[in-house]
């Protein structure tokens, strides 16, 4: 099972979603309250602020097999901690350059900025991201090996 | 189990020959500011309480910069740096990993390079005015300096994009067309020195295959870490000798200078030179860079107080030993450089450049005028001095 | 810290509880498979299932199992940790568990409820729980920080909300510093002579006082010995953290420094500038006025023996008055999507006042929807119609002058007719919008602005917000009328007084700490900290960064910025986050993603 996008149906992208406690995570929880569906490959890591997400965490996620990584935080100019999301965007931009140099499609790393009640948008973004990743195929950073 | 491993390490590194003379401690750059640290004490601790786990959790194991000034001064040639490297490898097997600068970002990238099925963009620096080829007798190892430029993009003066270009420009001027390969991966130096031998092994396989495909018989490095890793650690990990010769660009440049193949224009500059530990003490390459500098008209070369095998370490190795004392050490180093009166300190090692320039951009506890001497790349300097 | 912790030492210290949420979760996830998968994981001493562990019996079981299970940390797989999770955590705390050794996984909102495929959802639940177990192994027990709360309050804004807050706080025994930008207290309400729909229960800070019962009196505020009022003053700078802040107030006599424990922000809202809708002709035609200006014109006749006349000639009584509603509100083009709540009530009230004084004047109210949040509004509106006020549904398109006569164009959407009416007076019911410099103040106080630019309320997800001691009351939080502003002032005051009465607050220990051995004193954290909690100081000949525990908010921006990883946010340490990342991606590493089975 390689990186073929055509492996229809069996590839379920794993997305590590770093969500901030003030906007990203509440949006995700509200999506749940409203039963708005999105794919089960989306795994949420709650942090206090999107600005807490270091480049090393993003790269580690890819190293450990994530097919996509997304940082979800407050809207720009509305970060609960003032400038955290700006820092996060800068760091994501930097890591995308590193990904390109490594040979990973930089679309695998993205950010999304929303306020705390955007439940529909949260699910929408996850659905879109997973669909895009299905098109890109499994991350070549961790090719499938035989299980021991 | 730990005992056996430690015994083997002691044997392999001749640590048992240590007569406790303390010479290593007096020259150790870490001990200068961290009075509790001493290279030989680690060996003593290992012998007294042979538990890899306990040793791994001590800071001392990770604070050593592995600059090898201890081994080079040691009358019995105890290989302390190898002892530490070995202990670190054993710790990694137990799942104990150190806190690294950048949080291990670069180490993650190296492991991805080793395991992933990726098509990198490693040769973006090649422009139409440079001549390289997919095959050739001489292979130029590009290295990972470009990644450092990205990670440190918010620091002034830390852009290594110019180094591979400069190297190829010099080689082309000497009539050499080097082979380069996009399938090359990180040499694995930082993984090696943080104990990840598995990560290193994966990278070795890929690099050997990439170089083999070019048919090269000689691999030339600008980066001292790549040089040392290929020369010493690759054969140590594998079963056989490398199928090619490994050489540093300064050695080739010195030859070309003697053969009159490199012509320089008048370059007015007063410079000093930092013997990066991986080039100097680890690989014994001291003279060639000096020969090259002396061949450039107008360059006034002044030695550091502590030079050649006594050259003071830049403070960090493998991204793992940086701490408060490192900062003080770097201040000492920069003060020494500034005292030479030179306008710039040249070195080959991109890491030394990162660490020393980083220190200069911090808040510092001393008067900035005492330490602000820029640390610049040797290869780029030489390429800029070439006659057009 | 160099020399990290590995997975050595497999003592079984973790107790796992899975809750089926009264069977609800059980229908979305295969709880049995989940329990089986977790039972053998490293460090797990037991896996117990419960029907509803948040109920009293459920909590008792938690406590008993914890005490008897020989574990020192708990992982719960259930609903959302921020609401019911606090109940479970509280119960276990009572049984002796350190609250930082409690980890709850949201299997409901983040898993069962959003993934219809039961198999896949269970696979994901297993991943989520495994990651939580990995993190739990790295957790450390922590004690909350105790900070003192200075027993003095700062109230910014002397409108009704601010005055009420000041009076209530003072009544509870705490000194208050009340800062007002204008030369008088009372805010916008001060300019009113009558309020609606109550008519007589007005506000005693009005020019004409009737029977003020429910609202704060200016005299009371000025005479209260505990309230120090600073007129024509503004808060210039604010320093400090939870419970202890130093504010510099710029007064006409010079700067004044005060030290307070709580702050109530009652800075109100701005009135929409009607000139921004040029088609209504405000500023162009003298006889186009705002509701605020109308108030004075009507009061002149009602209270001060003057005449209600057209501004253009100063002598004619308007024969026709047209009210235009929603001016500057419910208007995306003007950047104010919100409804300003009070304009309908207010306009109808003024319309009735005009008719009372001049029954011969025809009054039209042009509206889109009529909204009245107050009790008594329906009756008020019915009476207005009975009194002959004409309500026309349709937004006015244009006000213009033709042959010396003011006219307006609109549509009566009920009948579908386009109308072009002659009018003597057009009254614009201007709405409320966020105060001009609310951004500056919000930044100073670290209050976020919501997407409509009003200051954000407490976040229901996080009670920690309350402990910062900064409360927003009145129109600063969103458009509202006098009564609701007063109520807001009361609740902000109660919250502030509670904090000050307690004298101390417990602040979460999940804030940044610096490993001084690793810190190089580079200063980048100091530059980046919004709360001035990071400072580089000299210690023993070297530079090192230190933290002010009261100011640090635990955002972690400095920790991510520190290139040497000398800073850790407690309870979000690197090993803990790494454990989550590794755990969540484990199945993918084992090749095949969440759909492939196996452990």
**pLDDT above 80 for C5:** no
For chain B, give the mean pLDDT.
Answer: 92
Question: Total structural domains in chain C?
Answer: 3
The residue from C123, C142, C161 where one domain ends is C142
C226 and C375 belong to one structural domain:
no
Query: Is residue B373 pLDDT above 80, yes or no?
Result: yes
The pair of structure tokens assigned to B188 is: 């694995």
Gap between the Cα atoms of B335 and C569, Å rounded: 35
Q: Which one of C5, C518, C522 has the shortest CB-CB distance to B363?
A: C522
Give the side-chain half-sphere CA count within 13 A for C366: 28
Based on the fold, state whether residues C258 and C233 are members of the same structural domain: yes
Query: What are the domain boundaries of chain B?
Result: 2-93, 101-254, 261-385
pLDDT of residue C401: 93
Looking at the fold, whether C300 and C399 belong to one and the same domain comes out as yes
> Please, which chains are in contact with B (at least 3 CB pairs closer than 8 A)?
A, C
- Report DSSP state, residue A134: H
Does the beta-carbon distance from A13 to C593 stay under 8 Å?
Answer: yes
Is position C557 within any domain?
A: no
Our CA angle for C485, C489, C490, nearest 5°, is 120
Bridge partners (DSSP) of residue C430 are C327
Distance CA(B138)–CA(B25), nearest Å, equals 41
Whether residue C4 and residue B320 make contact (CB cut-off 8 A), yes or no, is no
Whether residue C309 is found in the same domain as residue C418? yes
- Is the Cβ pair C581, A39 closer than 8 Å? no
Q: Give the pairing type, strands C432-434 and C73-78.
A: unpaired
Residue closest to C135 by CA, chosen among C584, C435, C441, C550 = C584
Residue C507 has pLDDT above 60, yes or no: yes
Check CB contact of C578 with chain A, cutoff 8 Å.
yes
pLDDT higher at B303 or C345? B303
How close, in Å, is residue C539 to chain B by CA atoms? 10
DSSP assignments along B183-219, one per residue: T-----HHHHHTT-HHHHHHHHHHHHHHHHHHT-SEE
Q: Over 80: is that where the pLDDT of B37 sits? A: yes
What's the per-residue H, E or C state across B33-93? CCCCCCHHHHHHHHHHCCCHHHHHHCCHHHHCCCCCHHHHHCCCCCCHHHHHHHHHHHHHH
Q: Is B201 exposed, middle or buried (0-12, 13-18, 19+ CB in 10 A)?
A: middle
Instruction: Give CA–CA dist C328/C326, Å, rounded.
Output: 6
Instruction: Check whether C310 has a pLDDT greater than 60.
Output: yes
Q: What's the pLDDT at A143?
A: 78
Q: Average pLDDT in the A82-111 region? A: 95
Q: C114, A38: Cβ pair inside 8 Å?
A: yes
Q: Return the minimum-mean-pLDDT range out of B82-96, B113-127, C291-305, C463-477.
A: C463-477
The verdict on a CB contact (< 8 Å) between A54 and B111 is no
Nearest Cα residue to B350 out of B328, B383, B373, B319 = B319
In this prediction, residues C312-335 reach a mean pLDDT of 91
* List of chain A residues whose C-beta atoms are within 8 Å of the C-beta of residue C586: 64-65
Contact B293, B299 (CB under 8 A): yes
SS3 C429: strand
Least confident interval from A99-103, C5-9, C461-465: C5-9
pLDDT tens digits for range C56-98: 999 999 999 999 988 999 999 999 888 888 899 999 999 999 9
Which pLDDT score is estimated for C593?
A: 40
Which residue carries 């400072």 as its tokens?
A: C535
Contact A26 C459 (CB under 8 A): yes
Distance, CA of C66 to chain centre: 38
SS3 (DSSP) at C433: strand
* SS3 labels along C535-574: EEEEECCEEEEEECCCCCCCCCHHHHHCCCCCEEECCCCH
**Which residues on chain B place their C-beta less than 8 Å from a C-beta of chain C?**
53, 56-59, 61-63, 94-103, 320, 322-324, 326-328, 358-359, 361-365
Test the B interface: residue of A94, A140, A141 with most B CBs within 10 Å: A141
pLDDT-derived band at C598 (thresholds 50, 70, 90) equals very low
- What CATH number has the domain bearing residue C481? 3.50.50.60
**pLDDT recorded at residue B2:** 79
In sequence order, the 6+-apart residues with CB closer than 8 A to the CB of B41 are B60
Residue-averaged pLDDT of chain C: 87
Q: For residue A3, name the pLDDT band (cuts at 50, 70, 90).
A: very low
Q: Are residues C425 and C452 in the same domain?
A: no
As its CATH architecture, domain B261-385 has 3-Layer(aba) Sandwich (3.40)
Lowest-confidence segment of A130-139, B1-10, C255-264, C557-566 by average pLDDT: B1-10
C279 and C406, same domain (yes or no): yes
Mutation site for A-interface testing, chosen from C24, C80, C114, C129 by largest number of A Cβ within 10 Å: C114
Q: What is the DSSP string of C199-254?
A: SSS--TTSSS-----SS--HHHHHH-TTEEEETT-EEEEEEEETTEEEEEEEETTE
Residue-level pLDDT at C459:
59
The last residue of a domain, from among C485, C505, C525? C505
Q: Tell me the backbone φ, ψ of residue C284, rounded to 5 degrees.
A: -95, -45
Q: What is the ipTM of this complex?
A: 0.92
Is-contact B254 B328, C-beta < 8 A? no
- Encode pLDDT of B157-168 as tens digits: 777 778 999 999
Structure tokens that stand for B31 in this block: 């001990």
A56, A100, A141 ranked by CB distance to B116: nearest: A141
Subunit contact B117:A104, Cβ cutoff 8 A: no
The confidence score (pLDDT) of residue C197 equals 63
Secondary structure string (H, E, C) spanning C48-86: EEECCCCCHHHHHHHHHHHHHCCCCEEEEEECCCCCHHH
Q: In what order do the strands lie in the sheet with C425-430?
A: C288-290, C425-430, C320-327, C362-367, C390-393
CB contact under 8 Å between C109 and A83, yes or no, is no
* pLDDT for B217: 96
Distances (CA, A) of C213 to B225, C201, C209, C210, C342: 82, 7, 11, 9, 20
Spatial contact of C470 and C480, defined as CB atoms under 8 Å apart: no
- Report residue B319 as tokens: 């991204």
Residues of chain B above pLDDT 70, percent? 100
Alpha helices in C277-321 (DSSP H): 291-304
- Mark yes or no for CB contact A82/C443 under 8 Å: yes
Whether C345 and C197 have beta carbons less than 8 Å apart is answered as yes
Does B199 have pLDDT greater than 50? yes
pLDDT of residue C154: 97
Q: Which two tokens stand for residue C129?
A: 């729980």
pLDDT in tens, A42-53: 999 999 999 999
At C108-122, the pLDDT tens digits run 999 999 999 999 999
Q: Does B101-254 match B261-385 in CATH topology?
A: yes
> Closest partner residue to C554 among A22, A48, A79, by Cβ?
A48
Percent pLDDT > 90 in chain A is 78
CATH of B2-93, one of 3.90.1150.10, 1.10.1060.10, 3.40.50.150, 3.80.30.20: 1.10.1060.10
User: pLDDT for B274-307, tens place per residue?
Assistant: 999 999 999 999 999 999 999 999 999 999 999 9
Pairing verdict, β B375-377 and B344-347? parallel
**Residue C227, CA distances (Å) to C178, C185, C221, C232 in order:** 7, 13, 7, 16
C466 confidence band (pLDDT: 50, 70, 90): low
Per 3-state DSSP, chain B is made up of helix, strand and coil in percentages (nearest 5) of 50, 10, 45
| pLDDT score, position C38 | 95
Same domain flag for C297 and C427: yes
Question: Do C328 and C433 form a contact (C-beta atoms < 8 A)?
Answer: yes
Contact A67, B116 (CB under 8 A): no
What integer pLDDT is reported at residue C540 of this predicted model? 84
Across C234-254, average pLDDT: 92
Domain contains C547:
no
> What average pLDDT does the segment C401-423 reach?
91
pLDDT for the residue numbered C105 = 95
- Domains recognised in chain A with CATH numbers: 15-136 (3.40.50.960)
When CB atoms are compared, the residue of A30, A37, A49 closest to C556 is A49
Average pLDDT value over all residues in chain A? 89
pLDDT at C487 over 60: yes
> Does residue A70 sit in helix, strand or coil?
strand
Residue-wise pLDDT tens digits, C114-164: 999 999 999 999 999 999 999 999 999 999 989 899 999 999 999 989 999
What b/e readout covers B358-376, taking b as 16+ CB neighbours within 10 angstroms? bbbbbbbbeeeeebebbbb
pLDDT at C452: 83
| CA torsion through residues C290, C291, C295, C298, sign | positive
Q: What residues of chain B lie within 8 A of the CB of A62, using their CB?
A: 108, 112
Contact assignment for A62 to B112 by CB distance below 8 Å: yes
Q: Is residue C109 part of a domain?
A: yes
- Same domain? For C230 and C159 the reply is yes
Q: Which chains would you list as touching C if contact means 3+ CB atom pairs under 8 Å?
A: A, B
> Is residue C52 within 8 Å of residue C78, measured between CB atoms?
no
Cβ–Cβ gap B113/A62 under 8 Å: no
pLDDT above 80 for C212: no
pTM score of the predicted model: 0.86
**A68 or B36, greater pLDDT:** A68
Judge whether C478 lies within some domain.
Answer: yes
Residues B108-142 have pLDDT tens digits of 999 999 998 999 999 999 999 999 999 999 999 99
Same domain, yes or no, for C446 and C297?
Answer: no
Question: Please, are residues C448 and A74 in contact by the beta-carbon 8 Å criterion?
Answer: yes
CA distances C57 to C61, C62, C64, C86, C91, Å, are: 6, 9, 11, 16, 11
- How many CB atoms are located within 10 Å of the residue C503 CB? 12
Query: Which residues in chain A have Cβ-Cβ distances shorter than 8 Å to B119?
Result: 103
Between chains, do B124 and A60 touch, taking CB under 8 Å as contact? no
**Coil, strand or helix at B379:** helix
pLDDT at residue C322, as a whole number: 96
Percent of chain C with pLDDT over 90: 62
What are B380's two structure tokens?
A: 């780029």
- The SS3 assignment for C115 reads coil
| Domain that includes residue C365, residue range | 274-433
How many Cα neighbours within 13 Å face the side chain of B351?
Answer: 27
Residues from chain C that touch A21, judged by Cβ atoms under 8 A, are 461-462
Task: Give the pLDDT of residue B159.
Answer: 78
CATH number of the domain to which C96 belongs:
3.40.50
Query: Does residue C9 carry a pLDDT above 50?
Result: no
Q: What is the full DSSP assignment across C489-535?
A: HHHHHHHHHHHHHH-EEEE-S-SEEE-TTT-----HHHHH-TTS-EE
Is the pLDDT confidence value at C468 over 60? yes
> Where among C433, C454, C483 does a domain terminate?
C433
A91-95, A121-125, B317-321, C442-446: the lowest-pLDDT one: C442-446
Q: Taking residues C249-268, what's their average pLDDT?
A: 95
Task: Say what the pLDDT of residue C201 is.
Answer: 40
Lowest mean pLDDT: which of B174-178, C182-186, C194-198?
C194-198
**Beta-strand (E) ranges in A6-113?**
15-20, 42-47, 68-73, 109-113
Q: How far apart are CA A110 and CA B32, in angstroms?
A: 45
CA proximity to B53, closest of C481, C341, C7, C225: C7
Task: State whether C137 and C160 are in the same domain.
Answer: no
CB-based contact C556 A47, cutoff 8 Å: yes
What does each C-alpha distance from C230 to C187, C253, C471, C485 come to in angstroms? Answer: 14, 10, 20, 21
Structure confidence at residue C1 as a pLDDT band (50, 70, 90): very low
Distance CA B78, CA B68 (A): 10
Q: Which fold has domain B101-254?
A: Rossmann fold (3.40.50)
Indicate whether C203 pLDDT > 80: no
Say which of B94, B358, B362 has its CB closest to residue C523.
Answer: B362
């Amino acid at each position: 099972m390689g990186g073929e996008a055509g492996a229809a149906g069996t590839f379920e992208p794993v997305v590590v979603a770093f969500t901030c406690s003030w906007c990203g995570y509440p949006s995700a929880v509200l999506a749940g309250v409203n039963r708005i569906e999105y794919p089960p490959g989306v795994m949420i890591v709650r942090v206090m602020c999107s600005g807490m997400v270091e480049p090393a965490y993003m790269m580690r996620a890819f190293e450990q097999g994530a097919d996509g990584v997304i940082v979800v935080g407050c809207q720009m100019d509305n970060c609960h901690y003032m400038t955290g999301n700006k820092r996060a965007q800068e760091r994501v931009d930097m890591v995308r350059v590193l990904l390109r140099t490594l040979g990973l499609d930089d679309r695998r790393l993205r950010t999304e900025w929303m306020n705390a009640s955007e439940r529909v948008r949260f699910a929408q973004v996850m659905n879109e991201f997973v669909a895009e990743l299905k098109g890109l195929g499994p991350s070549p950073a961790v090719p499938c090996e035989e299980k021991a | 189990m730990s005992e056996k491993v430690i015994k083997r390490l002691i044997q392999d590194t001749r640590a048992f020959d240590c007569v406790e003379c303390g010479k290593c401690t007096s020259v150790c750059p870490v001990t200068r500011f961290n009075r509790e640290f001493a290279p030989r004490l680690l060996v003593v601790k290992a012998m007294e309480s042979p538990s890899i786990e306990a040793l791994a959790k001590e800071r001392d194991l990770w604070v050593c910069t592995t600059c090898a000034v201890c081994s080079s001064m040691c009358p019995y040639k105890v290989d302390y740096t190898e002892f530490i490297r070995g202990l670190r490898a054993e710790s990694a097997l137990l799942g104990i990993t150190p806190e690294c600068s950048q949080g291990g970002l670069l180490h993650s990238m190296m492991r991805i390079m080793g395991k992933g099925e990726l098509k990198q963009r490693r040769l973006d620096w090649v422009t139409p005015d440079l001549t390289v080829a997919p095959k050739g007798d001489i292979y130029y190892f590009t290295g990972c300096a470009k990644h450092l430029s990205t990670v440190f993009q918010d620091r002034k003066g830390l852009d290594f994009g110019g180094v591979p270009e400069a190297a190829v420009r010099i080689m082309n001027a000497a009539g050499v067309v080097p082979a380069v390969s996009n399938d090359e991966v990180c040499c694995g130096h930082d993984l090696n020195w943080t104990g990840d031998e598995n990560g290193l092994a994966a990278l070795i396989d890929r690099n050997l295959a990439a170089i083999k495909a070019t048919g090269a018989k000689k691999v030339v490095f600008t980066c001292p870490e790549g040089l040392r890793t290929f020369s010493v650690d690759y054969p140590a990990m594998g079963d056989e000798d490398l199928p090619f010769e490994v050489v540093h660009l300064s050695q080739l440049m010195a030859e070309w200078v003697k053969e009159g193949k490199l012509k320089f224009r008048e370059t007015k500059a007063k410079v000093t030179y930092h013997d990066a530990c991986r080039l100097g003490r680890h690989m014994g390459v001291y003279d060639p860079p000096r020969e090259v500098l002396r061949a450039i008209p107008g360059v006034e070369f002044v030695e550091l107080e502590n030079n050649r095998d006594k050259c003071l370490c830049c403070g960090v190795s493998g991204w793992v030993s940086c701490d408060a004392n490192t900062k003080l050490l770097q201040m000492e180093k920069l003060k020494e450089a500034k005292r030479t009166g030179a306008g710039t300190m040249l070195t080959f090692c991109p890491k030394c450049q990162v660490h020393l320039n980083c220190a200069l951009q911090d808040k510092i506890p001393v008067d900035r005028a005492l330490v602000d001497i820029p640390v610049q790349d040797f290869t780029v300097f030489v390429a800029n001095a070439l006659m057009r | 810290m160099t020399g990290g912790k590995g997975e050595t030492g497999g003592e079984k210290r973790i107790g796992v509880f899975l809750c089926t949420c009264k069977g609800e979760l059980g229908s979305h996830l295969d709880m049995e498979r989940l329990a089986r998968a977790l039972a053998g994981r490293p460090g797990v001493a037991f896996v117990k299932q419960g029907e509803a562990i948040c109920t009293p019996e459920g909590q008792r079981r938690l406590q008993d199992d914890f005490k008897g299970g020989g574990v020192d940390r708990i992982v719960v797989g259930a609903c959302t940790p921020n609401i019911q999770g606090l109940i479970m955590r509280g119960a276990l705390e009572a049984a002796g568990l350190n609250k930082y050794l409690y980890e709850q996984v949201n299997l409901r909102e983040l898993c069962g409820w959003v993934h219809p495929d039961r198999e896949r959802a269970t696979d994901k639940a297993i991943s989520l729980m495994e990651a939580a177990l990995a993190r739990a192994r790295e957790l450390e027990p922590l004690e909350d920080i105790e900070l003192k709360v200075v027993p003095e309050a700062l109230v910014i804004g002397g409108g009704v909300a601010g005055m009420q807050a000041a009076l209530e706080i003072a009544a509870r025994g705490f000194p208050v510093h009340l800062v007002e930008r204008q030369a008088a207290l009372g805010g916008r309400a001060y300019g009113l002579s009558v309020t609606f729909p109550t008519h007589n229960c007005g506000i005693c800070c009005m020019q004409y006082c009737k029977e003020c019962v429910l609202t704060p009196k200016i005299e009371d505020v000025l005479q209260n010995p505990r309230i120090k009022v600073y007129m024509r003053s503004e808060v210039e700078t604010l320093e400090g953290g939870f419970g202890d802040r130093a504010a510099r107030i710029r007064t006409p006599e010079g700067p004044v420094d005060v030290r307070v424990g709580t702050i109530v922000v009652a800075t109100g809202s701005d009135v929409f500038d009607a000139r921004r809708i040029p088609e209504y002709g405000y500023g162009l035609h003298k006889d186009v006025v705002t509701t605020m200006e109308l108030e004075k014109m009507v009061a002149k006749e009602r209270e001060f023996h003057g005449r209600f006349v057209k501004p253009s000639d100063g002598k004619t009584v308007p024969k026709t008055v047209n009210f235009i509603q929603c001016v500057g509100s419910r208007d995306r083009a003007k950047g104010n999507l919100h409804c300003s709540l009070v304009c309908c009530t207010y306009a109808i009230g003024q319309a009735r006042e005009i008719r009372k004084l001049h029954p011969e004047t025809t009054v039209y109210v042009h509206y889109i929807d009529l909204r009245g949040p107050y009790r008594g509004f329906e009756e008020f509106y019915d009476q207005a119609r009975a009194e002959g006020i004409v309500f026309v549904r349709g937004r006015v398109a244009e006000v213009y002058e033709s042959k010396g006569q003011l006219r307006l164009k609109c549509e009566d959407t009920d009948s579908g007719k386009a109308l072009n009416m002659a009018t003597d007076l057009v009254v614009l019911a201007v709405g409320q919008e966020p105060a001009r410099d609310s951004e500056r103040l919000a930044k100073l106080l670290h209050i976020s602005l919501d997407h409509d630019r009003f200051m954000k309320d407490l976040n229901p997800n996080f009670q920690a917000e309350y402990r910062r001691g900064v409360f927003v009351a009145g129109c600063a939080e969103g458009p509202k009328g006098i009564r609701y502003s007063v109520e807001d002032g009361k609740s902000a005051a109660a919250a502030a007084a509670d904090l000050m009465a307690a004298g101390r607050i417990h602040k979460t220990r999940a804030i940044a700490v610096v490993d001084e051995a690793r810190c190089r004193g580079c200063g980048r954290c100091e530059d980046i900290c919004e709360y001035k909690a990071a400072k580089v100081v000299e210690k023993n000949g070297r530079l090192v960064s230190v933290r002010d525990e009261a100011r640090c908010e635990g955002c972690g921006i400095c920790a991510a910025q520190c290139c040497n990883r000398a800073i850790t946010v407690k309870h979000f340490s690197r090993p803990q986050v790494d454990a989550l990342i590794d755990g969540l991606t484990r199945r993918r590493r084992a090749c095949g993603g969440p759909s492939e089975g196996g452990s």
